[in-house]
Amino acid sequence: MASLAPASDGPLIVWTTATLREAGMTRRAIGAAVESGALHRVRRGRYLAGQSHPDVIAAARCGGRLDCVSLVSLVGVFVHRRAGLHVQQEEGASRRPAAPPDVRYHWRSSTAPPDSAVTALIEALAQSVRCQAPRSAVATLDSAWHLGFVDEDGLGQIFARLPRRYQVLRGLLEGRSESGPESLVRLLLRTLGCHVDVQVRIDGVGRVDFLVDGWLIVECDSERFHGDWQSHKRDRRRDSAALERGFCTVRLLAEDILYRPDAVRASLERILGRGRRAELRRSQADARRARRARAQSALFSGVRPTSVGRHKA
């Protein structure tokens, strides 16, 4: 599994005055480091490295550790909607400031070291499942799995921390989903009763995000990967190649998937409905052609060629 920590663990450690003194820093040197920005004084006698992320600093100022969706998004895992700062507080901890309006405390014990400024990532992922809607939680776990932050064993540890009612989500996970929007679209398509194949390679076209019901290619496009003209040209050539091979392509915008899901669902429902009706019409036309062919075969099967002979004069 990938490691959460950066090259140096400094930004993730809360140092005490005693720890810094033991490392050889005088009180004057500590004060100078704070003055220069090399250290942040987060609470009385508690310090963080100057390069620490603002969210880590804010959590430490609250006397806790960065947690849940705040930590998960910080390391690069997809989070659909992140509201405020999520901070883990030890159960029974005293003398903690009241949570500001934009901060949410999670009161529980942690396996993280006492001087850690963040919780263990497994704990944060488990907490993020509780704090999100089910589909968003699945997208977050898909992302963590795809990026290598967790494996099958790690997923087992996450669900071991969750109540039984969340266990159904494990069967919905898909480590091949390459983005949060892809995960959300996959779950949406499931609700429409479609057969969905993920990350399918089509000869002459390449790999596509989804192949739905064997005929509809669904691609999830974001500005990050499809925002330049070269990308547009590549996509259009792929779409033409797919059409030549009997596939239709619909390209969904990540922005719409994330913030206009009802419109995306309605659009896919109409597209799939038209496709099914067209397939029904093709099947009916094929059946009519087959009936005509059988009728003509039966008509001519009883007609034998007339023998041509010489007529007597």
The 3-state secondary structure of 186-244 reads: HHHHHHCCCCEEEEEEECCCEEEEEEECCCEEEEEECHHHHCCHHHHHHHHHHHHHHHH
pLDDT score recorded for residue 227: 63
Poorest-confidence range of 1-15, 70-84, 141-155, 283-297?
A: 1-15
Query: pLDDT at residue 116 above 50?
Result: yes
| Phi, psi (rounded to 5 degrees) for 171 | -70, -10
- Residues 143, 195: contact at Cβ < 8 Å? no
d(CA 118, CA 60): 9
Kindly indicate the confidence band of residue 43, based on its pLDDT and cuts at 50, 70 and 90: very high
Of 301 and 73, the structure prediction assigns the larger pLDDT to 73
Query: pLDDT at residue 281 above 70?
Result: no
Rounded percentage of the chain residues whose pLDDT exceeds 90: 75
Q: For residue range 168-223, list pLDDT tens digits in order.
A: 999 999 999 999 999 999 999 999 999 999 999 999 999 999 999 999 999 999 87
- Residues 205, 215: contact at Cβ < 8 Å? no
Query: pLDDT at residue 124 above 90?
Result: yes
Query: pLDDT at residue 304 above 60?
Result: no
Kindly indicate the confidence band of residue 6, based on its pLDDT and cuts at 50, 70 and 90: very low
- Residues 219, 249: contact at Cβ < 8 Å? yes
Query: pLDDT at residue 8 above 60?
Result: no
Q: For residue range 46-96, list pLDDT tens digits in order.
A: 999 999 999 999 999 999 999 999 999 999 999 998 889 999 999 877 778
Rounded percentage of the chain residues whose pLDDT exceeds 70: 85
Q: Could you give all domains of the chain from N- to C-terminal order, each with its CATH number?
A: 10-173 (no CATH), 182-300 (3.40.960.10)
pLDDT score recorded for residue 285: 63
Mean pLDDT along residues 99-103 = 90
**pLDDT averaged over every residue in the chain:** 88
